[in-house]
């Protein structure tokens, strides 16, 4: 059998000069507790379909003490494709080398010996997310990514504000609205220091209903563009809108448009609401193909991929809302989720409520799932499968190797992708099945380790399938300490007395001569 080995880097020079460096953030947890977030860089070298990986100058803190670990490198990690994503997985014992960061006189990694390291990586269009699990002096889990807000709506924590309009960056209210009555709209959008519990942020967005001539103007915020085009609050000419072909920009030069690069499963946000009893605020998120769309609608739009809406948000303190996107109701549109229009309003009824109604919004997030609900081989559930169990061990009895197409994962994410890779190991085969969320941030890897039973053929010392004088030569060289290669120790105990010595040479010669 051809054997596959993960080679562990001993020196940094093992990484090719053409390696690609990625700069991003690394989140570290020690013994299951998050300890820090820091800037970090990694290197990936695409080596004929395999990857060489390097995390340089790795450090972390535990109990207020900084641990200077060093350089974590693994070479020849098998890569495999899942749609437009490239995935890779490795599990190896790694000898960590000393780093070269300025000011560090000693590195702990080289003193630890071979360290068990598991790497789960994914790449798409230059964006990278990698999970590392290392058994150092503590159990250390680290996630590196350079994704940023690529799959999110920018400024979703509402910490950035435009000084010229008083609106949050990338979000808009009536200050930037257009239309005949845009100057009359009294709904306000502003910054608040009333933030959701548990946040490190200092600001939230607050929208406030106003009043013109006794008519309530709902407070509204959107990542699109507001239009106030009619005196009647319920007229569809009063709406939020988005169109990728529009050249309009806000005071920061940003378009009134947010692209989607994957289909989200839900929108999650913190919300606080203050209004009269019996009234409801409104949250609306529309995933569509990027051509013109407005909310509320003025007609039936066939470019909608999904909607996530809650039009009955009750008054009350800060609470976390998770609103799933409904794709099924709009499946007949066959529309791609390429843009997202999000709108918040102090009242679900246009012109409803009363002046002074308020809604606070904080820490919004688009949620991309990659939960695994099933793992099958040739249509049958893998023995003992449970979503929380990620590694399995079985014996492989077939003469032919396992085939990736026989294995499948069932996932609950709209834009999640799956892929399976089969590789040979020293003792058999490893099947790696991975599910990755649309935003790269979640990766679930399931591994089956198959051990191929050793077939003992006494006398075939060199493993060529035959028993002849060549095996005698190899056996004598072994006994003399010359370490011949190849040498199959199990086949060399010809007389089966559990030791390999000159008696086995005699037994082997008798076997070849047809003796006993």
| pLDDT tens per residue, range 193-211 | 999 999 999 999 999 987 7
Q: Does domain 174-366 have CATH number 3.30.360.10?
A: no
The DSSP bridge partners found for residue 286 are 307, 341
pLDDT band at 474 (very low <50, low <70, confident <90, very high): very high
pLDDT digits (tens, 9 = 90+) for 328-373: 999 999 999 999 999 999 999 887 888 889 999 999 999 999 999 9
Using DSSP's 3-state secondary structure scheme, residue 504 falls into helix
| pLDDT exceeds cutoff 50 at 5 | no
Q: Which CATH number fits domain 1-148: 3.30.930.10, 1.10.10.10, 2.40.128.350, 2.40.50.140?
A: 2.40.128.350
- The residues near 111 (Cβ < 8 Å, ≥ 6 apart) are none
Distance, CA of 394 to chain centre = 28
- The residues near 23 (Cβ < 8 Å, ≥ 6 apart) are 39, 40, 41, 146
- Supply the pLDDT for residue 217: 75
**How far is the first Cα of the chain from the last one, in angstroms, to the nearest whole number?**
30
Cα distances from 276 to residues 51, 91, 212, 348, in angstroms, run 59, 58, 19, 13
Q: Which of 180-194, 364-378, 418-432, 472-486 has the lowest mean pLDDT?
A: 180-194
Instruction: Convert 411-442 to b/e letters by CB count within 10 Å (16 or more is b).
Output: bebbbbbbbbbbbbbeebbbbbbbbbbbbbbb
Task: Tell me the whole-structure pTM to 2 decimals.
Answer: 0.86
448-58-199 Cα angle (round to 5): 90
Matching residue, tokens 């006794």:
214
pLDDT digits (tens, 9 = 90+) for 238-262: 999 999 999 999 988 999 999 999 9
Give the tokens for residue 125.
Answer: 């269009």
Q: Is the dihedral of CA 465, 468, 473, 478 positive or negative?
A: positive
58 within 8 A of 74, measured Cβ to Cβ: no
Mean pLDDT (whole number) for 204-224: 85
Cα distances from 99 to residues 45, 70, 130, in angstroms, run 19, 4, 20
Percent of all residues in the chain with a pLDDT value above 90, rounded to a whole number: 77
Q: Cis link prior to 418 (omega < 30° from 0)?
A: no
Distance CA 235, CA 225 (A): 16
| pLDDT exceeds cutoff 60 at 4 | no
178: DSSP letter:
B
Q: Does domain 368-453 have CATH number 3.40.50?
A: no
- The residues near 145 (Cβ < 8 Å, ≥ 6 apart) are 24, 25, 127, 128, 129, 130, 440, 441
Enumerate the domain spans of the chain. 1-148, 174-366, 368-453, 469-513
Instruction: State the pairing for strand pair 65-82/7-8.
Output: antiparallel
Cα distances from 334 to residues 24, 261, 325, 414, in angstroms, run 36, 17, 15, 14
263 within 8 A of 327, measured Cβ to Cβ: yes
pLDDT digits (tens, 9 = 90+) for 274-299: 987 778 999 999 999 999 999 999 99
- The residues near 478 (Cβ < 8 Å, ≥ 6 apart) are 461, 484, 487, 492, 500
- With 0-12 / 13-18 / 19 or more C-beta atoms within 10 angstroms meaning exposed / middle / buried, residue 398 is exposed
Percent of all residues in the chain with a pLDDT value above 70, rounded to a whole number: 94
- Supply the pLDDT for residue 185: 59
CA torsion angle for 157, 195, 223, 296 (degrees, to 10)? 140
- Provide the greatest CA pair distance for the chain: 114
């Amino acid at each position: 059998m051809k054997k596959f080995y993960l080679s562990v880097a001993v020196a940094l020079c093992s990484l090719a000069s053409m390696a690609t460096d990625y700069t991003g953030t690394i989140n570290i947890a020690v013994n299951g507790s998050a300890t820090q977030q820091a800037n970090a860089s990694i290197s990936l070298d695409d080596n004929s379909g395999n990857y060489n990986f390097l995390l340089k100058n790795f450090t972390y803190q535990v109990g207020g003490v900084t641990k200077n670990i060093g350089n974590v490198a693994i070479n020849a990690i098998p890569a495999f494709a899942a749609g437009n994503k490239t995935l890779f997985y490795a599990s190896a014992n790694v000898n960590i080398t000393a780093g070269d960061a300025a000011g560090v006189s000693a590195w702990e990694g080289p003193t630890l010996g071979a360290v068990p390291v598991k790497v789960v990586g994914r790449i798409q269009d230059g964006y990278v997310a990698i999970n590392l699990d290392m058994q150092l002096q503590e159990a250390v889990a680290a996630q590196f990514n350079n994704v940023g807000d690529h799959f999110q709506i920018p400024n979703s924590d509402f910490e950035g504000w435009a000084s010229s309009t008083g609106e949050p960056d990338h979000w808009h209210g009536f200050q930037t609205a257009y239309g005949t009555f845009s100057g009359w709209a009294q709904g306000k959008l502003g910054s608040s220091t009333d933030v959701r519990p548990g946040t490190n942020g200092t600001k939230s967005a607050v929208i406030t209903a106003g009043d013109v001539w006794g008519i309530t103007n709902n407070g509204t915020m959107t990542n699109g563009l507001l239009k106030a085009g009619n005196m009647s609050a319920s007229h569809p000419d009063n709406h939020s809108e988005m169109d990728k072909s529009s050249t309009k920009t806000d005071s920061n030069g940003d378009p009134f448009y947010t692209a989607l690069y994957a289909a989200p499963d839900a929108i999650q946000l913190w919300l606080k609401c203050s209004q009269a009893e019996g009234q409801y605020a409104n949250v609306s998120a529309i995933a569509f193909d990027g051509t013109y769309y407005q909310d509320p609608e003025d007609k039936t739009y066939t470019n909608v991929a999904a909607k996530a809406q809650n039009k009955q948000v009750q008054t009350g303190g800060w609470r976390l809302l998770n609103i799933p996107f409904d794709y099924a109701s709009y499946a007949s549109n066959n529309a791609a989720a390429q843009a997202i229009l999000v709108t918040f309003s102090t009242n679900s009824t246009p012109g409803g409520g009363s002046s002074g109604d308020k809604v606070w919004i904080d820490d919004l997030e688009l949620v991309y799932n990659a939960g695994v609900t099933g793992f099958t081989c040739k249509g049958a559930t893998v023995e003992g499968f449970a979503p929380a169990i990620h590694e399995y061990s079985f014996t492989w009895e077939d003469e032919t190797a396992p085939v990736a197409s026989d294995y499948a994962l069932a996932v609950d994410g709209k834009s999640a992708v799956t892929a399976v890779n089969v590789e040979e190991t020293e003792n058999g085969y490893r099947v790696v099945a991975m599910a990755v969320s649309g935003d790269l941030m979640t990766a679930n890897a399931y591994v089956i380790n198959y051990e191929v039973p050793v077939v003992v053929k006494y006398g075939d010392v060199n493993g060529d399938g035959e028993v002849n004088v060549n095996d005698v030569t190899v056996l004598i060289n072994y006994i003399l300490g010359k370490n011949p290669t190849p040498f199959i120790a199990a086949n060399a105990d010809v007389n089966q007395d559990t030791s390999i010595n000159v008696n086995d040479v005699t037994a082997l010669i008798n076997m070849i001569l047809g003796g006993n």
